[in-house]
Amino acid sequence: MTSVEKASVETLPGGGSPPPPAAKASAGRFSVNLRQSGIYIAFALIIVLFSILTEGELLSPQNISNIMVQNSYILVLAIGMILIIIAGHIDLSVGSVVALSGAISAVLMVEMDVAWPLALLITLIAGALIGAWQGYWVAYFGIPAFIVTLAGMLVFRALTLTVLGNQGIGPFPDEVRTLSNGFVEGYLGNVGLGPLGGADLITLLVGLAAVAAIVGSQWRARQGRIGYRQPVDSPLLFALKMAAASAVVLVVIVQLARFKNLPWVLVLLAFLVVGYTLVTNRAVFGRHIYAIGGNLHAARLSGINVKSVTFWLFVNMGVLSAIAGIIFAGRLNQAGPTAGNSFELDAIAAAFIGGAAVQGGVGKVVGAITGGLIMAVINNGMSLIGAPSEQVMLFKGLVLLAAVALDVWAKRRAGAQAG
């Protein structure tokens, strides 16, 4: 897959010599795409590397399922974190908020016997209030987010310990555990996939529906652009892209169907990714986030309500942290005082590996997810080959540094060209 991408990248800009404007424009678009797609190429390379090192174990049905489920809460956090980083802020408190929301849900469900849907709702509201608290200090009081959330990191950890009475609380109701750790029921039973063995029909159908939705929406977007007489990819390139995307989705889905069914957290994550991608790409709110991070003064002088946008970003982060907290606690079947330790660092690293810029204004939800998955694959792959944890840490640290160094370097080069 990577070799195909590389080849097409290399031939396109050089090959189009005589016809001036169209070829020029598409070459420009392609080189921009190359910079943005560096992260996906890196992801593919890392998968190939660890597939070889683990002799295929990495991509086995059970392992794919494990990677998804084990890292889902980091990915949920990464979605909120990338938005905050795009706006030029940071949130160091998410790990503590994960612990606190896990603790709140545990107290509600286990100690107070509140019905689980109500308990989850209350927990999400608590997350929103925590976010509102931090958002107030950052947006309206004007304290740098670094300080506010550093304080939050301590305060919310302290509240966690208070709520839990310094001990773990569990076990959780079955429904909550299923949500965080379980799989969709195989209502329609299994089908045979020849040499691949049996696979869950529901999962396969969901996968096909997802592929249909991806291709359909891309097709509609393309038709819309044609309607407005805007440049679009050639039909061949479009078909290739769609085929590649479908293939990736189908491979993952088939492997998941062969193991068990769809993990519930994957369903949740898919909804979050699609929803937040739409918000960042097409919503006014999303556009305002980029405008604020790109040039705060210009955003203010364009009439954007900077304070309100910043405030709601932190509220959003609080809610997502609560979701992650519930998933994490449900997975362990216990809310513990040390839950979520250093999750903020993983989420921040995911965002930066995924292409966020240090000074804000740049980043994508899908990029942050990819960044999170890169770290997940490194974690998982290295533990499969039995590497000790210090090596895992070392490798992850270097990958983070390399990703940001690449971003800074690319920017400096672009700046040198422009000025």
Cα–Cα distance measured from residue 87 to residue 282, given in angstroms and rounded to the nearest whole number = 16
SS3 of 338, please? coil
Q: Which helix (H) or strand (E) holds 192?
A: strand 190-192
Least distance to another protein, CB of residue 414, Å: 8
Smallest gap from Cβ 357 to another protein, in A, equals 8
Nearer to another protein, 6 or 413 (CB): 413
What are the residue ranges of helices labelled H in 333-388?
A: 343-353, 365-384
Minimum CB distance to another protein, residue 275 (Å): 12
* By CB under 8 A, residue 260 contacts another protein: no
Query: Going residue by residue from 219 to 248, which x/- string records binding to another protein, judged by CB under 8 A?
Result: -----xx-xx-xx-----------------
SS3 sequence, 165-194? CCCCECCCCHHHHHHHHCECCCCCCEEECH
Q: Compute and round to an integer the Cα radius of gyration of the chain.
A: 22
Candidate list 284, 342, 386, 416; residue touching another protein; CB under 8 A = 284
Closest contact distance (angstroms) between CB of 274 and another protein is: 14
223: helix, strand or coil:
helix
The SS3 assignment for 335 reads: strand
Can residue 289 be called a binding residue for another protein (CB under 8 A)? no
**Residues 292, 83: Cα–Cα separation, whole Å:** 11
Helix (H) or strand (E) holding 199: strand 198-200
Among 6, 29, 241, 413, the residue binding another protein under the rule CB under 8 A is: 29
Q: Out of 166, 235, 297, 416, point to the residue binding another protein (CB under 8 A).
A: 297
Q: CA 358 to CA 356: how far, in whole Å? A: 7
Q: Which tokens in the block code for residue 236?
A: 């061949």
Q: Which residue from 139, 164, 176, 362 is in contact with another protein, where contact means CB under 8 A?
A: 362
Contact with another protein (CB under 8 A): which of 28, 117, 165, 198? Answer: 28
21 is a contact residue toward another protein (CB under 8 A): yes
Virtual torsion, Cα 395, 63, 78, 278, nearest 10 deg: 130
In sequence order, what E strands does 100-161 have?
none
8 Å CB contact between 201 and 189: yes
> To 10 degrees, what angle do helices 389-418 and 21-53 make?
170
Tell me the C-alpha distance between 310 and 138, whole Å: 8
Using rule CB under 8 A, residue 333 touches another protein: no
Cα angle 365-369-370, degrees, rounded to a multiple of 5: 115
Selected from 135, 361, 371, 372, the binder of another protein by CB under 8 A is: 361
4, 7, 25, 193: which one binds another protein (CB under 8 A): 25
- The SS3 assignment for 115 reads coil
Instruction: Tell me phi and psi for residue 200, to 5 degrees.
Output: -75, 130
Instruction: Write down the least CB distance from residue 80 to another protein, Å.
Output: 19
Q: Which among 156-164, 269-277, 293-301, 401-409 is the span making contact with another protein, rule CB under 8 A?
A: 293-301
Q: How near is the Cβ of 308 to another protein at its closest, in Å?
A: 11
Single out the residue of 50, 172, 259, 290 in contact with another protein (rule: CB under 8 A).
290
Q: 184 or 406, CB closer to another protein?
A: 406
Cβ at position 355, least distance to another protein in Å: 13
| Comparison of 22 and 154: residue with beta carbon closer to another protein | 22
Which of 118, 196, 298, 401 is in the footprint of another protein by CB under 8 A?
298
Nearest distance from C-beta of residue 154 to another protein, angstroms = 27
Per CB under 8 A, does 275 bind another protein?
no
Binding site for another protein (CB under 8 A): 21, 24-25, 28-29, 224-225, 227-228, 230-231, 281-285, 287-288, 290-291, 294-295, 297-305, 357, 361-362, 414, 417-419
